[in-house]
Amino acid sequence: MEDKAQTERNAEKFKEIAKNYYNKNFGTFSKSEIDLLMFKFFYEDLQSQNTDGIGTEKNTPLSDYRISKELGITERRVRDLRIRYYLKYGKEYDWKKDFVRLIQNARYDETSHKIFLNIPDPALYIEIQNYIEENGAYIEKQLNSKLLQMRAESFIDLVISAESTDNRDKIVKELKKQFKTYNKNEREFDEKNIAKSLMKSTCDIVSIAANISGMLSPGNIIGGALMTLLSNIKK
With 0-12 / 13-18 / 19 or more C-beta atoms within 10 angstroms meaning exposed / middle / buried, residue 48 is exposed
Helices 31-48 & 75-89 angle (0-180, nearest 10):
90
pLDDT of 53 reads: 42
Residues 6+ apart with CB under 8 A from 4: none
33-44 pLDDT per residue, tens: 899 999 999 998
Record the pTM.
0.70
Considering only residues 6 and 234, tell me which one the structure prediction assigns the higher pLDDT. Answer: 6
Q: Which helix (DSSP H) or strand (DSSP E) does residue 67 occupy?
A: helix 64-71
pLDDT of 52 reads: 43
Residue 69: which pLDDT band, with cuts at 50, 70 and 90? Answer: very high
Contact between 101 and 228 under an 8 Å Cβ cutoff? The reply is: no
Dist CA 20 CA 10 (whole Å): 16
* Sheet bearing 147-151, strands edge to edge: 107-109, 114-118, 147-151
108-122 pLDDT per residue, tens: 888 888 888 888 888
Report the residue count for the chain. 235
Three-state SS at 136: coil
127-164 pLDDT per residue, tens: 888 887 776 667 777 778 888 888 888 888 878 887 88
